[in-house]
A and B are shown apart, each in its own frame.
Chain A
Amino acid sequence: MILPIIRTAIASLRRDRAALALAFVLPVSFFTIFAVIFGGMHDTTPKITVILVDQDQSSASQQLMHALQQEGSLVIRTHPESKDKPAQPDYTAATAEAAVKAGDAPIALIIPKGFGQNPIAFGPSRDNSSAIQLLNDSSDMIAPQMVSGLLQKAAMTSMPSAMADQGVKYTEEYLGELTPDQRKKAESNIAQLRKLEKDGTINSAASSSGSSGFDGIIPVHARAVVGQNKKSPMVSFYAAAIGVMFLLFTASGSAGALLDEAESGTLDRVLSSRITMTSLLAGKLTYNTLLAFTQLTVMFLWAWAVFHLDFFSHIPGFVVMGLSTAVAVAAFGLLLASFCHTRAQLGALSTLLVLIMSSIGGSMFPRYLMPEAMQKAGLLTINAWAIDGFTKVFWRDQPVTALWPQVTVLLTVGIVLFVVARRVARRWEFA
Chain B
Amino acid sequence: MRRLGKPGTWSSRTGRRPAALRCLAAFAVSLAAVLLATVAARADASDYESALHSLAEPSPEEVSRGISGLGSSGDPRAMGVLQALRDGNLLVAEGGAIYLKDAGGALHDALSGAPSGPRAGRAPPVDNDVRRVLLPVLARLELRSPDRAVRLAANETLADRGNDGDAPVLRDALARETDKGVRAAIVSTLAELDLASTDPQRRLGAIDAIGASGSVRFRPVLSALVARHDDGSYSEPDPRVRSAADSVLHSLDRKQMAVDAIAGVLYGLSAGSILLLSALGLAITFGLMRVINMAHGEMLMLGAYATYCTQVFFAAHFPSLMSWYLLAAVPVALITCMAMGALLERTVIQFLYGRPLETLLATYGLSLLLIQLVRSIFGAQNVTVENPPWLAGGAELFEGVVIPYNRMAVVLFTIVVVAFVGYILRGTSLGLRVRAVTQNRPMAACMGISTRRVDTWTFALGSGVGGLGGVALAQLGNVGPEMGQSYIVDSFLVVVLGGVGKLMGSIIAAFGLGILNKVLEPFAGAVLGKIVVLMVVVLIIQKRPQGLFAQRTRGVEDA
Task: Report whether chain A binds chain B.
Answer: no
